[in-house]
Amino acid sequence: MPNDVPDLSILIVNYKTPRLIVDCLRSVYEHTRDVQFEVLIIDNQSDDNSEAIVRATYPADQFPAIRWFDMGYNAGFSRANNLGIDNARGRTILLLNSDTLLIDNLIGRAVRILDEQADVAAVGAMQINREGQVHDQMYCWFNDLLRFSYIVPQKLQGWLKRRLPDPHYDDPNQVDWIIGAFLMTRRSTIEQAGKMDENFFLYGEDVEWSYRLGKQGRMLVLRDGFFVHLEYGSSESYQVQELSYINRFKTQLQLSNLLWIRKQYGIGAFLLLMAHYYTLIPILYIWKISVNLKQRKPLFSELSNQTAFAKQVGVFSRFFWKILFNRPGFYKV
């Protein structure tokens, strides 16, 4: 790559996913056209041979545009990407997950949109799986995510949506927020909005950042643009495999969402949601015990869901005062 400023800097955060990165880079090089780009891989203390595996396919002497940075600790998504932003040379920046694959020149299209439409702040695209199916859960609205944070009976969900409606934009591609798996914006926009919030360890940081980016212009998710997102390739240790309606939250994800809600909606919204959780604990226990009584089962049997929920709220409570007063920190479970 020539020494002049590239069109794009692609930032990929690595945590023990070198083979995914090799596949991701292969798709980038195969499909990207008419864009001069560099790649910055930021390693979150993988403590393995990730760099050697990637360099075996993309040696530094043949691919000088691929640069490797070590965080020195598991810094999470925001801090790692911010290091990439600090070292990026491109006039546009793309956050790209290691567990993604491109299927066409999506990058070139997104760069053109940012070059040609000054009122656009950031661009994303639709996620699909390997079979080409669009992901079932793709949140694009702040209120959609806020509604998900409340656990209410089915008959109250309509009321909740009326209280927290989704916005309506003239452009069908316009959204509130863009998932960080593929999020492209300009360097100049970042300079106005600020970098990612380093209080976040994992999840929620793209929502909070989208709120600030959105103040600089329209946020677009291309409804006819697609990329494969394998999901959770770089964060499998933070996932909860079995979810129920009551225990719907992945703990780290919801902790980050609580931090985002406090930052964006204020103290009142945060306190209301936590009061909702605290109130639910006895309600859920009483409801299940009454069901057991009606079905003539032991009163305190089959309370695993209720106990798991109470424990999860206990985790959130450990961060209660820090979130309430919006204290700087590293919000990691």
Residues 292-309: pLDDT tens digits? 999 999 999 999 999 999
Res. 238: pLDDT tops 50: no
152 pLDDT tier (thresholds 50, 70, 90): very high
pTM: 0.92
Predicted confidence (pLDDT) per residue in 13-54, tens digit:
999 999 999 999 999 999 999 999 999 999 999 999 999 999
Res. 197: pLDDT tops 90: yes
234 pLDDT tier (thresholds 50, 70, 90): very low
* Three-class HEC string of the chain: CCCCCCCEEEEEEECCCHHHHHHHHHHHHHHCCCCCEEEEEEECCCCCCHHHHHHHHCCCCCCCCEEEEECCCCCHHHHHHHHHHHHCCCCEEEEECCCEEECCCHHHHHHHHHHHCCCEEEEEEEEECCCCCECCCCCCCHHHHHHHCCCCCHHHHHHHHHHCCCCCCCCCCEECCCCCCEEEEEHHHHHHHCCCCCCECCCCHHHHHHHHHHCCCEEEEEEEEEEEECCCCCCHHHCCCCCCCCCCCCHHHHHHHHHHHHHHHCHHHHHHHHHHHHHHHHHHHHHHHHHHHHCCCCCCCCCHHHHHHHHHHHHHHHCHHHHHCCCCCCECC
Considering the chain, what is the average pLDDT of its residues?
93
